[in-house]
Structure formats: C-alpha cells, structure tokens
Amino acid sequence: MKKILTLFVLSFALLYSSLLAEESTFSGQAKSLFLTIEEIPQKVYVGQVFPIKIKAIVANNKIDAMNTTFLGASGVDVINPQNPWERSVDNTYYNTFYFKINSKTAIMPRLNVALIQQQEPVESEALALTLPSQLIQLKMDPFFSNVIAQSLTINKYKTTTFDGKNVIVVLEIETTGANLKDFKLSGIAKSGIDSFSETGTSQKIYYYAIVPNYQKSFDFTYFDLPTNKFNKITLPMVIESDEVSTQLGLNPKESIFEFYKSVAYGALSFIFFIVLIKRRKWYYLIISLVFLGLYFFDQNPLNNVKLKNNSSVMILPTERSTVFFTSSKILDVEKLGERENYIKILLPDGKIGWTTRENISKN
C-alpha cells in the first residue's frame, strides 16, 4: 500500500511539473498560443519575392490583437511585416508573409507573435523560419532588369525628346508575384523608378530612362517563374510629340511647322512693306504691320518666365517624380505647357521638365 501511495505522489508531481512548464511567463496561465508553418516553397531564387503561410492557434477568447515582429534576419527583407492576421474557425488564425532573399548566405528571421489584451502583452510565442530547401542564384544576363515575376506586362510606353542628344523612355510596367521595386538596367546614365503602387500581389511602376537618340530599341529581360527562363522585352524607339501627354513632350519651338510659319509671317510682312514703298497705299502698311505682329506673337515672348533659385525640375508632373535638375540661381526659361499645379519648361541647356507653379515668376 505504501509503495502504491508513493507511486501516486510521484506521478502527481510529474504531472504538476509538466503543467508548470506549459505556463505562460506573462500571466501564470496555461499556454494558449501555438505557431506552425503551413506552406513554404521548396525552390526560391535569390532576389525573388516568395510567401510563407503561418498558422496560429489561440486558445484565448479575450485577446484584443496579435502583434508580430521579426528578429535576427540577415540578408533577408520582410516585405509585409505588419500584415494583419485573419481569423478562421476554432480560434485558428492565418497569415501570409512575403520575403526576399538577397544572398545565398542569408539567415531567415525568427517570427515572434504576442497576444495583446487591454493594450498589454499577455503571452508570446516564437517560431524559427528556415530557408527553402533550394536556393538558386541566377546567372548573369547583360539585359537583366533584376525582376523575377509570375507575370510581367508593359501597359504602355512613350519615347519623347529630352534634349539635343537624348530621348526619354517612360514605361508603365505591371507584374504579379514580383520584386518590381528592384527594376534596374545597367549601362544607362540616368534612369529610375518614378512611382510605385501595389495592390495585393500586383505591383506597378513608372520607369524612366534617358538614352541616346540614335538607339533603335529599348531592351531588357526578366526571369519568368512559370517557364523558369529569361524573357526578353524589345520596344521600338518611336519618338512621339504628343503635347497633351503626362510624359515629356517635344519642344514645340523645334517643330518644322512652327519654323515655316514664322518664316512665312516674316516674309509676308517684308513683301507688303516693299509694296507699300512702291505704291504708297496706307492699307499695305496695315497688312505689313499685321504680319509683323503675328511674327512677334508667334515668338511667344509672353511665355518667357523665370525659374526661382533652388527650384526642382522633375521628369514627370507628379508629386513623387524624380528630380533631374535643381537651379542654383534665377534662370530665364520658357513655359511650354501646364498641367494642374505643374508647369512644363524649357531650360537654357535645351532640356525639358516640369516644376510646380510656385517656382515660376513672371519677367
């Protein structure tokens, strides 16, 4: 009997110790948070954005929120660290976090989730994330844009004159399941992402590149995940002169029609002045003065304005557009057009850009 009682006491002690080990360090209550990895891709390329789906079981109906943090990462970007948890059934929550591995020596972060009740953490749990079983470094490609995508589409593009030697190419690129923020082409002196937007797994950018005007096509590649190969995009360089476009347009003063029109006004004014001298009729003077006035009006002196000191000139008429020039002094410029709060100007060096209205003053 004594031996049976001893075994009972020992068993009870072991059970009690096990329960203590499961208790939370925050509130003294039994553990109620359990994390597991639900889905992780087996093969990932360096630079690729990929998802990891996490499952959380929360045996606590009184929590107000779940806070997520990532610790200890090296060579890894967490794309959406504050993505909210979605509740399913039976106190089960799911979350899909996106990551981008930047090198083969990367270390995945440790995921930490804290349960919040009345603005205070009551329990936390950590989960070590591991690298996919296959981590592949892509081979070098001279035209590679650094983009790895499920799909990539050029919605539209435009090529217009930038100055006497260069044109500017502006592309609207849309992707799914991609690292579109990394879009970059080598061998281009001036280029960049002008704007970026994101909706779910879809991303969109406006990308600009200033290239020599003798270049016949604009070429780049991206890595297509469904086919596991590089896809090449080739866009013919056709210079457009649409002044209504939000992109840069041609300088209207360089239009051949504008040139011949000015010559015609000047020539007609001179011809009627010669006729006036020969025939001495007053209406020839009026006609000559009319054509002379049209000639000077066509030169558009009213569009000569000043660009204030420390004014930024941008590629596109948008708030976050790339600045390619900042004035170090007051400059005489020509107003070519306007769109909402932006003025298109011709700089003294022949370049065309956009600036805000407050940067412009009358002569």
The full DSSP string for 197-250 is: EEETTEEEEEEEEEEETT--EEEEEEEETTTTEEEEEEEE--B---TTSSS---
Give the Cα separation of 172 and 202 in Å (integer).
Answer: 13
One digit per residue, pLDDT tens: the chain, 363 residues?
444 444 443 343 333 334 334 444 444 567 889 999 999 999 999 999 999 999 999 988 888 899 999 999 999 999 999 999 999 888 899 999 999 999 999 999 999 999 999 889 999 999 999 999 999 999 888 899 999 999 999 999 988 887 778 888 989 999 999 999 999 998 887 888 888 888 888 999 989 999 998 999 999 999 999 999 999 999 998 886 543 333 333 344 444 455 566 677 677 777 877 877 777 777 777 877 887 777 666 665 557 888 999 999 888 777 777 788 888 889 988 888 888 889 888 888 877 888 999 998 876
Distance separating alpha carbons of residues 121 and 101, to the nearest angstrom: 31
For the chain, domain boundaries: 33-135, 141-236, 245-299, 302-362
pLDDT at 14: 36
3-state helix, strand, coil in the chain (%, to 5): 20, 45, 35
Secondary structure of residue 252 in the 3-state scheme: helix
CB contact set of 160 (below 8 Å; sequence gap of 6+): 167, 168, 170, 239, 240, 241, 242, 245, 247, 248, 249, 250
CATH 2.60.40.10, domain 33-135, yes or no: yes
Whole-model pTM?
A: 0.63
pLDDT of residue 94: 96
- For 59-106, where are the E strands, in sequence order? 65-71, 76-78, 86-87, 92-101
Q: What is the pLDDT of residue 300?
A: 58
Superfamily of domain covering 302-362: SH3 Domains (2.30.30.40)
